[in-house]
Chain A
Amino acid sequence: MNGNGKKKRIGVFVCHCGVNIAGVVDVERVAKALEGYSGVSFSTHYIYMCSEPGQNMILETIREEKLDSIIVAACSPTLHEKTFQSVIELAGLNPYQVEIANIREQDSWVHSDKEKATLKAIKIVKSMVEKVLQNESLEPIRVGVTRRALVIGAGISGIQSALDIADHGYEVLLVEKNPSIGGHMIQLSETFPTLDCSQCIMTPKMVEASRHPNIRILTYHEVESISGYVGNFKVKIRKKPRFVDPDKCTMCADCEDVCPQIVSDEFNMGLSFRKAIYLPFPQAVPGTYTLDIENCLGLLPIRCGKCKEVCEPDAINYDDQETVFEEEVGAVVVSTGYDLYDLNHLGEFGGEKYEDVINGLEFERILSASGPTGGEVRRPSDGKVPKNVVFIQCCGSRDPENHNPYCSKICCMYTSKHAMLYKHHVPDGNATVFYIDVRTGGKNFEEFYQRTIDEDQVLYVRGKVSKVYKEGDKIIVWGVDTLTGRKIEMEADLVVLAMSMVQTDGVNELLKKLRISSDANGWLSEAHPKLRPVESLNAGFYLAGCAHGPKDIPETVSQASAAVAKVGDLFAQEQLLHEPTVVPVDEDLCSGCGICVTICPYSARELDKEKGVVKVNEVLCEGCGACAAACPSGAAQQRNQTDDQIFSMVRAILRG
């Protein structure tokens, strides 16, 4: 009987899945055992239910036998529930009248005893019959879409995402925490595998983004919080005070000339100085100075006032304040990039103790024509041209015991690039690379690496460096050549460490706020590692660039465009459909204790103080059932997964 007291006519379809199921479970016996079971009017088995003939058979049987609901005993519902829902929809039935009995992952794949596995399969199918007997026909919940996107982080991945969304004709908010867009790519010298100048290919994109009528760039801004649901998010954005009006600033640099506060320049990785009021780099977008309040002499409300005194267009406003405002968007692309692993984790290499033991980004600045040395390779301690440079790969990567277990993927290539560029600058110098493996799995990567060896005479030593230390003026690199087993002691003027890529500082806190999960190493998790690599499990959030894991520029750009294609899918829909298998509240039973409100991981439930009962935002409910399990009054019953249904299922299993 179903809820309306009407008798149901249920069909059972048992799948062999080739030998995946039939190799262990006697499918014929399962189909037979279900014949005549309460409500079951038809039962059969077939080799591949998901194949076209299998689907057609279900379709025809529904019509011939006048079935009103079916059970497919097969693989996990995550694989084919949608397939069979559409089959019965074709037959004119409600898609919520199909249930999948999982006899593969939960039975044949985990057992070898045929007899016991077959009995278990029968129990599983019977329990699903009990469930479907009480299933209601449901309609999806429909909601509108705000066709406007938020992109968090404006490195190459964020800029590419913003440009693509904008070119699709939708508005974009591009939020960047730093004073300028550009991310790490704008710091690089030349880029493998083609050696084009990074700034030369990056600045046109930055300018394009700043001029695009659909893009609103919000630099020096951060995302405070995001509420709502896919298609309908409300974002709180915090504007940090810049104290300079970008519209008035003419970038004359007068303020910078007089500012007495001198600090290390982040853009040049601390290899030069900047003032407290500064332009991050000449091509910065937006083109404006920023007063860095942390380093300004000012002690509110007084300032030394030198910068304001000389600023002719009167762009400086010491009263600028932090503000928080709200925006509505339908989709969010997270493109917050990466940081490098802190050198101080590598005590055996001296950490930051030795000025001439540097990381890859520091070397990028030394190589860069716009860098602190004007593109001449000099070492940081005394400005001399280094004649012996040692490059060490995998610093902090592929070392599960002490550091990060993963491969940072790009370091083989950028080390090869570094050694090559060094030799172009200092042809009579010696470049030695210590490596564990050289991984060159990208288009034209292997050829590039071979050129480093053949044309530029870079020496590659397969080995581990165990120590870097100083003897007088010299840096000594001490390790072992693992191919010959010989110990190596080598003098170096400069040592460049290929530090592991790591998740950006502060991003994990942001992810918690966005309810996006990350993996054990802190990288953003995708919805499916193979089939949904650019979506987050949290609907409406998309992933681009290194925030999701180490990547080079071509891969970052491809992922950004792929993420935008998914945003486009979302924005192309008239209305969004949400699963109706949510957990409503029976107001007559609800005592207003609020336990479900605290337990709901999706903030879908809230206490209606006036009525003293809980209210549910069904669009936010993901149907996880946490509240249904927790409610002491039985007021939270999940649709098509009620307590009654669960108890009947348990009874069916116990009966056998």
Chain B
Amino acid sequence: MRIRNREKPFGIEKPVTARGQIVIIEDRCKGCGFCIEYCPNDVLRLSDKYNSKGYHPPYVAHEEECVDCGFCQMNCPDFAIFSVEVESGEREPAPAESVKR
């Protein structure tokens, strides 16, 4: 039977479990877009900017949706992206500029 999907039954928010914080090592990126393609929660987007190799690296568009599933890091051929588990609510504000290594 089809049931009604309620966002907040009895006014209670959806529980949050593991949350992830994404770290992008922009200069390693070659712009293949696999991370964007494989992210099940549509967290990543391709940015307009260029990295030092002249590619467009991804950026984190919806960090609140990241559940630390690690699909991006499993699929990235160049080890340019990974996620770290954070307790819900503990996530740091999305860094203005991602880490450079």
Contacts and interface: CB of A to CB of B under 8 A. Distances in A.
Interface of A: 257-262, 264, 266, 269-273, 275, 297, 299, 302, 304-306, 339-340, 342-343, 352, 355, 362, 372-373, 378-383, 504-505
Contacts of A261: 67
Contact of A270 (B3, B15, B69): B3
29 contacts: A258-B17, A260-B69, A262-B17, A264-B4, A269-B4, A270-B4, A270-B5, A273-B14, A273-B15, A275-B17, A297-B40, A297-B41, A297-B71, A299-B71, A302-B38, A302-B75, A304-B69, A304-B70, A306-B18, A339-B1, A352-B4, A372-B10, A373-B10, A378-B10, A380-B9, A381-B10, A381-B11, A504-B1, A505-B2
B1 A505 contact: yes
A352 B4 CA distance: 7
Contacts of B5: 264, 270
B99 interface: no
Interface string B6-23: 100111101101100000
A299 B38 contact: yes
A380 B5 CA distance: 12
A304 B3 CA distance: 27
Given A270-B9, A271-B9, A262 B15 contact: yes
B63 interface: no
Contacts of B70: 304-305
Given A272-B9, A297-B67, A383-B11, 15 more contacts: A260-B67, A261-B67, A262-B14, A270-B6, A271-B6, A271-B10, A297-B69, A302-B38, A302-B71, A304-B70, A352-B4, A372-B9, A380-B6, A381-B11, A382-B10
Main secondary structure of the interface of A (DSSP, over half): loop
Most buried by A among B3, B4, B5, B18: B4
A383 B68 CA distance: 31
B74 A383 contact: no
A302 B74 contact: yes
Interface extent on B, as a size class? 20 to 34
Contacts of B6: 264, 270-271, 355, 380
Contact of A382 (B1, B11, B40): B11
Contacts of A372: 9-10
Nearest to A303: B69
A257 B11 CA distance: 22
Contacts of B41: 297
Most buried by A among B12, B14, B15, B75: B12
Given A270-B5, A302-B74, A505-B1, A260 B68 contact: yes
Interface in B52-96: 67-71, 74-75
A120 B50 CA distance: 98
A383 B4 contact: no
Nearest to A376: B10
B10 A383 contact: yes
Sorted nearest first, the 6 A-B pairs with minimum C-beta distance are A260-B67, A304-B69, A383-B10, A270-B3, A339-B1, A383-B11
A304 B1 contact: no
A649 B15 CA distance: 78
A578 to B, nearest CB: 40
A41 B28 CA distance: 107
B81 to A, nearest CB: 15
Nearest to B14: A262
Nearest to A298: B40
